[in-house]
Amino acid sequence: MSSMQAKLWVVATPLGNLGDFSPRAAEILQGAGLILAEDTRRAGLLFQRLGLTHGRMVSSFDHNESSRIGLVLSTLEQGEHVALISDAGTPLIADPGFPLVRACRDAGFAVSPVPGPCAPIAALMASGLPTTPFTFLGFMPRKGSDIRATLEPFARLKTTLVFFERKNRLPQSLRVAFETLGPRNYCVARELTKTHEEFIFGLLPLDQDADLDSLLGECTVLIAPGEEPARSNEVDVVRMIQEEHLRGGRPRDVAKRVCARVAGWTVKDVYALLQRI
């Protein structure tokens, strides 16, 4: 690695199982002149458990990462590699690092990923919910109104939603999800790759008997796309046409009002039926 142009390496680290750490990641971290870690104590313990040595290590988290940019750029200018890691999993995926990566790119330095464990991807792989397309939302906001505002744009989109949530706020998030998205299958993944890995499945609204209070730490939540409603049968559509006809209006207006009440019919379809009866 020393013969290569100095660059910023974005390195994924294990979610829990040390066997997921790649030889390439180990080589990059041991050869870096500077390592940025969310928590240097946790990172130091990880290195110790992996039997790795490392160079200079400094913290880089939400509240200080901007102040680390100058140090990173000067290190790269001196020809030394820099590695960025998070507490677990893939950096920048709801973890710090975006300002740093952007600054390195803007300054003309190369940035390379060292792929590996990633909680949203791991949860999708084993959940049994649709995997394409999916949308990762990061951490849910704290307030119910903000959760609703986050979810509303996806109410009509056929995409699996993935987000992180802390166990004490999980019931509220799932309740608001039902109010915003309607009945949908969900999966709560916890302790991914660890001894007590668990996948909890359910259907929104949240079952009152669902035991979520015993969960620990941070969970990865997946909510499946909504099911397409079955096409309304013609008999029901004719009945609605008759009801809306009594309210008055032009045939085209009647068709529009009926279309808003039925599933799987366009205004053109309803209008054509209206003309036949």
CA distance linking residue 84 with residue 202, whole number of Å: 37
80, 97, 117 - which closes a domain: 117
Strand order in the sheet with 134-139: 134-139, 160-166, 218-223, 185-190, 198-203
Note the pLDDT of residue 212. Answer: 65
Quick check: is 229 in a domain? no
CA distance linking residue 238 with residue 150, whole number of Å: 38
Residues 193 and 104 both lie in one domain: no
Residues 104 and 162 both lie in one domain: no
Which pair of tokens denotes residue 202? 């359910």
Note the pLDDT of residue 277. Answer: 83
Mean pLDDT of 65-93: 96
Asked if residue 205 has a cis previous peptide bond (ω within 30° of 0), the answer is yes
Note the pLDDT of residue 231. Answer: 83
117, 145, 173 - which closes a domain: 117
Quick check: is 1 in a domain? no
CA distance linking residue 259 with residue 240, whole number of Å: 9
H helices present in the chain, as ranges: 23-31, 40-50, 69-77, 98-106, 119-127, 144-151, 170-181, 234-246, 251-259, 267-276
Residues 169 and 188 both lie in one domain: yes
Structural domain boundaries, residue 77: 7-117
Q: What is the pLDDT of residues 180-216, one digit of tens each?
A: 998 899 999 999 999 999 999 999 987 654 666 666 6
Residues 194 and 109 both lie in one domain: no
CA distance linking residue 13 with residue 88, whole number of Å: 5
Quick check: is 151 in a domain? yes
Query: Taking all residues of the chain, what is their mean pLDDT, rounded to a whole number?
Result: 92
Residues 80 and 154 both lie in one domain: no
Note the pLDDT of residue 93. Answer: 95
Mean pLDDT of 241-253: 91
How many domains is the chain partitioned into structurally?
3
Quick check: is 2 in a domain? no
Residues 184 and 262 both lie in one domain: no
CATH of the domain at 141: 3.30.950.10
Note the pLDDT of residue 72. Answer: 98
Q: 6-20, 78-92, 197-211 — which is least confidently predicted?
A: 197-211
Place of tokens 């013609």: 234
Q: What is the pLDDT of residues 90-149, one digit of tens each?
A: 999 999 999 999 999 999 999 999 999 999 999 999 999 999 999 999 999 999 999 999
CATH of the domain at 23: 3.40.1010.10
Q: Are 168 and 228 in contact (CB under 8 A)?
A: no
Torsion of CA 47, 50, 55, 58, to 10 degrees: -20
Quick check: is 228 in a domain? no
Q: Tell me: pLDDT of 3 over 60.
A: no
Residues 89 and 155 both lie in one domain: no
Mean pLDDT of 159-177: 94
Q: Is 223 helix (H, G, I), strand (E, B) or coil?
A: strand
Q: Are 197 and 190 in contact (CB under 8 A)?
A: yes
- Between residues 46 and 231, the one the model is more confident about: 46
Residues 104 and 154 both lie in one domain: no
Note the pLDDT of residue 210. Answer: 60
Q: Are 7 and 76 in contact (CB under 8 A)?
A: yes
CA distance linking residue 263 with residue 257, whole number of Å: 12
Place of tokens 């104590």: 41
68, 97, 117 - which closes a domain: 117
Residues 206 and 131 both lie in one domain: yes
Residues 154 and 252 both lie in one domain: no
Q: Tell me: pLDDT of 151 over 70.
A: yes
Note the pLDDT of residue 213. Answer: 60
Query: Please, which pLDDT band fits residue 38 given cuts at 50, 70 and 90?
Result: very high
